Structure 1
Amino acid sequence: MTRPLEGMLVADLSRVLAGPTAAVMLADLGARVVKVERPGAGDETRGWGPPWAGSSSSYFEAANRSKQSIALDFADDGDRALARRLVDRADIVIENYRTGALRRFGLDAASVLARNPGVVYCSITGFGSRGEGATMPGYDFLVQAVGGLMSITGDPGGEPRKVGVAMVDLLAAKDAVMAVLAALLHRARTGSGQHVEVALLSSLIASLANQASGYLATGHVPHAMGNRHPSIAPYETLRCRDGMLAVAVGNDQQFAALCRVLGDAELAGAPGFATNAGRVANRDALQVRLERLLAADDAAAWARRMLAAGVPAGTVNGIDEALSLARRLGLDPTVPVGPGHPDQWTHPVRYSAFAPVPPSAPPALDEHGDEVRRWLTTDA
């Protein structure tokens, strides 16, 4: 089976999460990915444990399957020459070094494009590569804080909260893949490569969606609302007899169906509740009415009835329950990568013309060093 990136080479000079995740997704699409790491230590996430898995941490394993690892010291003449040969042969380079740090090794975008004009060179930064942003360290938690995401996450009036996963890194990874694929299409049409840059802050701001749009439209700064939605109600978690139920009512018809399921059809037409605007304005009173009815049964039972009636609702699952749900729905959320390694997340897209590459285990540090060195020194 031919995959779209089959025969292409990715030089992965990145570390931690955003760049490595982007490289994994390119590997899923058929590219060969060679990960360049520091001798002795490797990618710093190898030590980000517990928990531990395979040859390093489970954190490292989550973003580094299907790659070959070679350890190179750019300050060493011989290793630097090998690194240059690698990027000069590459179709794609991914890096997230501090702006300007690769210039003295001849591995920066301008140097590589001068020698390899067809390369797609992708830089991932925290805050851009110009001005003050070029000197600012780019860590997901920091970007969530200064980028506004924490200000709208958490309970009203409470401490700002980060999202429970490095979401900005993952958003940037997907933006990087999009940028790389667009640049490859441009190369196919023109023959020319280019330098593309993804900034974590830009990826986050572009993902603030209705929250940023609302501010730009009104000048009103959004704030944390817990699990409530600023523009829709009921679109939140509600307490049932045994726990919480997530209800995502998006229109008046769904609200009417919700009321019928709860045994109070007249509530749908009650003053202050008949329209979404009214429900948003009276959300506190609405919550009291709904939770009084929901107290009659458990969340899972209500979820089954609501889904049967076309009302978007579900229990608040742990990760174990979420994976079980995905398996029950036939989404195959995990995939084996090899003996001695835990399963990893499945490539999230299904294609009608091809299947992603079956993944291989994340590499040990310099596991493929000898093989890659021979290839770089003997292949034309």
Structure 2
Amino acid sequence: MTYDGLDVEKIRKDFPVFSRELPDGRSLVYLDSGNSSQKPNQVIDTMREHLAIHYSNVGRAMHLLGAESTDAYESARDKVAGFIGAPSRDEVVFTKNASEALNLVAYSFGNPAVTDPRFTLGPGDEIVISEMEHHSNIVPWQLLVQRTGATLKWFGVTDDGRLDYDPGVITERTKIVSIAHQSNVLGTVNPVAEVAARAHEMGALVLLDASQSVPHHPVDVSRLGADLVAFTGHKMVGPSGIGVLWGRAEVLDAMPPFLGGGEMIEAVWMDRSTYAPVPHKFEAGTPPIVEAIGLGAAVDYLTGVGMEAIEAHERTLTAYALDALRELPGLRLIGPDTTEGRGGTLSFTLEGIHPHDVGQILDDHFGVAVRVGHHCARPLHLRFGIPATTRASFYLYNTTGEIDALVRGLHHVQKVFA
């Protein structure tokens, strides 16, 4: 099985989960990578080896294991920086997930410890998000406006699942614009450059939630136009428990520490402390050492496959899936119905059938794993007047045959409820 130069059969052999047999001899059809991706042997083995023979705490121990562990941890930072085109490794901050990275940024605004006018926030100031955001890019800003009296504004979403971009939403009172690079429900890839240009014209900072884009497309942060970018490891064939915040160096320098503790300090007295330079200023305590090293191995794996090839493969799968789903009567796609400006995430409803029933039958009878619910994007589902959707999301290890299995399963679901 070769798609757009990608040897999917070879890739699938790297992922042990695809060798397992489900009850009744069924094969696993995993179409839930937008939720969390599967892990290749290369990542699993790297983490196991480090735990077995190299493990020690980082940045502290003056012995061989400490040096090996620190070198491996910092090497992972180098790999991530290269993967996303960061101008400096010191602009890469390790967090436990994208949610923590987004909260870290939100914490900086309206903080009395910050004198930089870009981060001062109070009544009359504005934060701009969008209606398609994951809860992780909504709730931190709601909490922030509750603390500061600032105003939360948002872009709407068009009927076909595109960002309803109105540049007038961003004003001279806007302090930050925080939007998804790619929607986790719609698959929509947002016009980041256009939004960032307007934001910067108005003096605002731009934060991107890139959790759904970095695993699937070549991303160069130096060209995006954003000031800060958050993403997570578990969606890009890496482990859970590790995320990344990239930020322009001078922006990170201006931000206060998010957590206090060991390793984020320069010096401590009983009445005050000074802080380590970035990125360590934001990495208090023992970090997710093995998880970061696993993320480095994931970066190596994806780089070896080639992000351009992964993107092309997913575009082929998405086009095939869009055509295949059109044959199902009563299916409503929530999101763009073409491959233009979208990724390999397809959310839909079946008329008269609750998505939870769809997911259960697909799993029980066909071994097809999809996600059902509001996908941590309830406001978006309210926008479309639905409580939930069924979501199929593709990655480098998926095939058109698996899409065929999904469609067969959906036909069966419709027969059950006919």
- TM-score with structure 2 length normalisation? 0.23
Question: As a proportion of its length, which structure holds more strand?
Answer: 2
- In terms of Rg, which structure is larger? 1
Relative contact order, higher structure (CA 8 A, sep 6+):
2
